Amino acid sequence: MTGDGTRAVRAGLPEPRANEPALPGPAFAAHYHLPGEVSGPYTYGREANPTWAALETAIAELEAPGDPGPAAEAVAFPSGMAAISAVFLSQLRPGDTAVLPSDGYQLLPALRERLEAFGIAVRTAPTAGDAQLAALEGARLLWIESPSNPGLDVCDIRRLAEAAHRRGALVAVDNTLATPLGQRPLDLGADFSVASGTKALTGHGDLLLGYVAARDPRLTAAVRTWRKVAGAIPGPMEAWLAHRSLATLQLRVDRQAAGALALAEALRDRPDVTGLRHPGLPSDPAHDLARQQMRGGRFGCVVSFVLPDRAHAERFLAALRLVDEATSFGGVRSTAERRGRWGGDAVPEGFIRFSVGVEDTEDLVADVLAALDEAARPDGNAARAEENAARADDGSARPDEGPAHP
Ligand SMILES: *Cc1c(COP(=O)(O)O)cnc(C)c1O
């Protein structure tokens, strides 16, 4: 079996054919020629598209490399939330019970409300300490997020999956933060690996995408049928851009993981930084478990930490020069935000979620340390903030903060 980088550059590509491109361009089609009886994979655009099919093969090869071909199937969605919803809504019926993390992605509580309105019972427990184990009795679906966003806790996927399977529950893992190069949930016993492809998987911050991968064809068939019924289909252009981005996945995740570890190490001894978390940091409470179940030293690009208060955090973000203040994570350009501004996560006011890009590590660490120094001096920060504002005016823009999520 080939290595991750070798697999990533060829994943999902057709056999080389004379005079054909390596990765065929996006197929824009609402319908396909269909003379006579209904036959073949491509009939109507809501059901199948060759650009999705190539991307789905690529993702399946990364989530579950087989020899030959992938040992799983993937189904692509227009966003991570579309993929997550597809698993819940295709698998659960009224009267079923789902177990969610209490510290997972910020839209899980909104999803929980919808599930409960449909007569599905929902229990939650924290990711850390495998606390979801205690909530499994009678459950139909266990939803795991490891490492969790934004708190970066890790749980033992294999242990939870075995316990859930003994009770007859299905297991799904949100693999967004790790990417399939950093963690293979299906190999750890999960039935579904689900992710937002918006983040590190595609890495350029220019598209939204999601996917569901599973080994059992009955599970992927149910998810595929759900996609057709809900009509939650990815655009061919986004699917093609995503596939194109997979070729650099290994380069990006390795670089970002190394940068994140270097940043975490640089922050470790700062008196103004508390609550520092990064699963790659040897002193992190999640490190030993992360090292067991994650792959290749790829502990993700996110570092989280807490500054003394909201104003301090805002001064820090304004003083950064090489880091965009923006949400999301996993992009080639570093971003950071004060997570509490959304109101959806149980985090302190000064909590920063920092996503390390592919900049030169020394430049990035120097910028962060300088911004921390500025932020520690409430008055000394004004000059740098003004300079940043001037740069935004002359076109080398820092993006404005958008309106809050619903
Ligand atoms: C961003 C994110 C999602 C949602 O993905 P979208 O592509 O924004 O819909 C789900 N889970 C995690 C862990 C995420 O970070």
Q: From the CA of 177, give the closest atom in ligand 1.
A: 13
Handedness of CA 185, 189, 190, 193 (dihedral sign): positive
- The radius of gyration of the chain from alpha carbons, rounded to an integer in Å, stands at 22
pTM of the predicted model as reported, rounded to 2 decimal places: 0.93
What's the 97 CA to ligand 1 centre distance in angstroms? 23
Segments of the chain with pLDDT less than 50:
395-406
Give the residue among 111, 103, 106 at the shortest CA–CA distance from 147: 103
Identify the pLDDT of residue 325: 97
The tokens describing 1, both together, are: 């079996």
Structure tokens that stand for 280 in this block: 């790659």
Q: In terms of domains, do 151 and 196 share one?
A: yes
Q: Which of 88, 103, 105 to mutate to test the pocket of ligand 1 (most atoms within 8 A of CB)?
A: 105
Catalytic hit among 123, 140, 184, 199 = 199
> Does residue 176 share a domain with residue 42?
yes
List, in sequence order, the alpha helices (H) in 268-406: 287-293, 310-319, 361-376, 381-393
For 287, other C-beta atoms within 10 Å of its C-beta total 17
Same domain, 291 and 238: no
- The mean predicted confidence, pLDDT, of the chain is 94
Tokens of 393: 């005016």
Q: Does 174 participate in catalysis according to the annotation?
A: yes
The confidence score (pLDDT) of residue 401 equals: 36
* Parent domain of 210: 4-246
Instruction: Answer yes or no: do 20 and 156 share one domain.
Output: yes
- Identify the domain boundary among 224, 246, 268: 246
Q: Do 259 and 141 share a domain, yes or no? A: no
Taking the CA of residue 149 as reference, the ligand 1 atom at the shortest distance is: 13
Residue 15, domain member (yes or no): yes
- Beta carbon of 174 within 6 Å of any ligand 1 atom: yes
- Residues 207 and 354 grouped into a single domain: no
Whether 406 is covered by a domain: the verdict is: no
Whole-number percent of the chain with pLDDT over 90: 90
**pLDDT of 242-259, one tens digit each?**
999 999 999 999 999 999
State the distance from the centre of ligand 1 to the C-alpha of 131, rounded, in angstroms.
22
Are 180 and 158 contained in the same domain? yes
Residue 392 included in any domain: no
Does 394 fall in a domain?
Answer: no
Cβ pair 259, 303 in contact under 8 A: no
SS3 of 194, please? strand
Q: What pLDDT is recorded for position 69?
A: 84
CATH no. for residue 271? 3.90.1150.10
Among 143, 224, 165, 204, residue whose Cα is nearest residue 328:
204
Token output for 94:
């009224």
Instruction: Give the model confidence (pLDDT) of 386-399 as tens digits.
Output: 665 666 555 444 34
Q: Tell whether 216 and 334 lie within a shared domain.
A: no
Any domain includes 400: no
* Residue 80 Cα to ligand 1 middle (Å): 5
Report the nearest-CA residue for atom 6 of ligand 1: 80
pLDDT digits (tens, 9 = 90+) for 55-71: 999 999 999 999 888 99
Judge whether 16 lies within some domain. Answer: yes
Q: How many domains does the chain have?
A: 2
Residue 388 inside a domain? The answer is no
Q: Is 105 a residue of the active site?
A: yes
> Within a domain: residue 386?
no
Q: Which of 157, 154, 194 is nearest to 176 (CA)?
A: 194
H or E element at residue 172: strand 170-174
- Residue 126 corresponds to which amino acid? P
Q: Looking at the structure, tell me whether residues 238 and 358 fall in a common domain.
A: no
242 plus 258 within the same structural domain: no
Query: Given 230, 246, 262, which residue is the final one in a domain?
Result: 246
